């Protein structure tokens, strides 16, 4: 079991409280990443989406 799973495995509170706790933990993690790294990751994801879009359009055109 990962450390994150162990942290939340016995969380006795509501789902909303658990979601808030996870979001806060992720926020701290994201704030520790350099803005340039986050920007590069975002651009990589955008490139993947753009490539998927192109494949969809190509399939529709070829029908």
| 30, pLDDT greater than 90 | no
CA-to-CA separations, 56 to 17, 53, 62, in angstroms, rounded = 39, 5, 10
The two tokens of residue 1 are: 């079991």
Q: Is 40 a residue whose pLDDT tops 90?
A: yes
In this prediction the pTM is: 0.47
Per-position b or e across 18-49, b if 16+ CB within 10 A of its CB: eeeeeeeeeeeeeeeeeeeeeeeeeeeeeeee
Judge whether residue 13 has pLDDT over 80.
no
């Amino acid at each position: 079991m990962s450390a994150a799973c162990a942290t939340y495995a016995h969380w006795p509170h509501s789902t909303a409280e658990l979601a808030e706790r996870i979001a806060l933990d992720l926020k701290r993690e994201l704030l520790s990443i350099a803005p340039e790294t986050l920007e590069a990751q975002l651009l990589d994801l955008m490139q993947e989406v753009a490539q998927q879009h192109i494949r969809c359009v190509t399939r529709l055109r070829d029908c």
